[in-house]
Amino acid sequence: MAVVNPVLEVDAIRLAFDGVVAVDGVSFTVEPGELFAIIGPNGAGKTSIFNVLSGVYRPQQGSVRFHDQDLIGMRPHRIAALGMARTFQNIELFSHLTVVDNLMLGRHNHMRYGALSAFAWIGRARREELANRSAVEDVIDFLELEQWRRFPVGLLPYGVQKRVELGRALAMEPRLLLLDEPVAGMNVEETEDMARFVLDIREELGVAMVMVEHDMGLVMDLADRVMVMDFGKPIRTGTPREVQEDPDVIRAYLGEQHRTAGGVA
């Protein structure tokens, strides 16, 4: 096997909010094209890891390397420009703007023209707008959003909003995609659609992904490797099969599922 540098290398990060340790000693790597999943009970620190990766929080210890760039201390918009995109556990769309405008915002860094060309709207501004609008149309096709194009996203059903947020991240043409609970709160049909899109992204676009998810079935079906977390610490990282059979994992996570889901895991 040829030696390829990992897309992402997270090394021993620790993040605490005065008193509460949210992430403690977490390390993992994500290889090109890989779908890496993070699971763990509520409050385990999964979202906090994403916030560290995308520059929203600065960890007290550890390092994050993304395509051989050190990300610690870098501001979120610079990290985005390097090719990291994410979706949020609680949808963070621009709810007054239309689907098209939300996706165009995903292409913010693919356009370079400034305020002066914007005023004139000729030449460069117009050219770049048209080219990027057509790229947005590709995302709309890919995620089957045609019928919603002109709606302010705040008016759309929850499942569609989740899809638009995925679209906004895809419009960035990222090298790494972070998905925070992409199917949380969705019905069976919406969950299946989302699973299909995640598979399509991997197969057709080859983008590496990190997915935080509660839906065990989905994680076990889709992920190449899984990291299980509890109380900010990683318990076990391995293939879905290895992880499922680990006694510590069963105790910490699956046990919790048994309790909360009334015995149905």
Ligand X SMILES: Nc1ncnc2c1ncn2[C@@H]1O[C@H](COP(=O)(O)OP(=O)(O)O)[C@@H](O)[C@H]1O
Q: Applying CB under 8 A, which residues contact other proteins?
A: 54-56, 75-77, 79-81, 85-86, 88, 92-97, 101, 104-106, 108-109, 111, 113-115, 118-121, 125, 128-130, 133-134, 137, 168-169, 172
Contact of residue 40 among other proteins, ligand X, Mg ion, none (CB under 5-8 Å per partner type) = ligand X
Per the rule left: phi > 0, alpha: psi between -120 and 50, beta: everything else, 214 is alpha
Q: Could you tell me if 247 and 236 are in contact, meaning their C-beta atoms sit under 8 angstroms apart?
A: no
CB of 229 to Mg ion, least distance (A): 11
CB of 169 to Mg ion, least distance (A): 17
For the CA atoms of 94, 114, 171, 177, the dihedral, rounded to the nearest 10 degrees, stands at -90
d(CA 67, CA 198): 22
Q: Which residues ranging from 4 to 23 are in contact with ligand X (CB under 6 A)? A: 17, 20, 22
Examine residue 47 and tell whether it contacts ligand X (CB under 6 A). Answer: yes
Closest to 127 (Cα-Cα) out of 140, 117, 137, 119: 117
Nearer to ligand X, 148 or 253 (CB): 253
Examine residue 26 and tell whether it contacts ligand X (CB under 6 A). Answer: no
d(CA 191, CA 73): 36
Q: Could you tell me if 156 and 169 are in contact, meaning their C-beta atoms sit under 8 angstroms apart?
A: no
CB of 237 to other proteins, least distance (A): 25
Which two tokens mark 122? 């000729």
CB of 104 to other proteins, least distance (A): 6
d(CA 206, CA 215): 23
Q: Apex CA 37: angle with CA 222 and CA 63, to 5°?
A: 150
Nearer to ligand X, 47 or 102 (CB): 47
Nearer to ligand X, 12 or 20 (CB): 20
Question: N- to C-terminal Cα distance for the chain?
Answer: 37
If residue 233 lies in a helix (H) or strand (E), which one and from where to where?
strand 233-238
Q: Which residues ranging from 46 to 65 are in contact with Mg ion (CB under 5 A)? A: 47
Examine residue 44 and tell whether it contacts ligand X (CB under 6 A). Answer: yes
Q: Based on C-alpha coordinates, what's the Rg of the chain?
A: 19
Q: Which stretch binds ligand X (CB under 6 A): 42-50, 141-149, 160-168, 216-224?
A: 42-50
Handedness of CA 26, 3, 238, 210 (dihedral sign): positive
Nearer to ligand X, 40 or 167 (CB): 40
CB of 134 to ligand X, least distance (A): 36
**Residues forming a β-bridge with 210:** 36, 178
Examine residue 90 and tell whether it contacts ligand X (CB under 6 A). Answer: no
Contact of residue 195 among other proteins, ligand X, Mg ion, none (CB under 5-8 Å per partner type) = none
Site residues, Mg ion (CB under 5 A):
47, 89
| Interacting residue ranges for ligand X, rule: CB under 6 A | 17, 20, 22, 40, 42-48
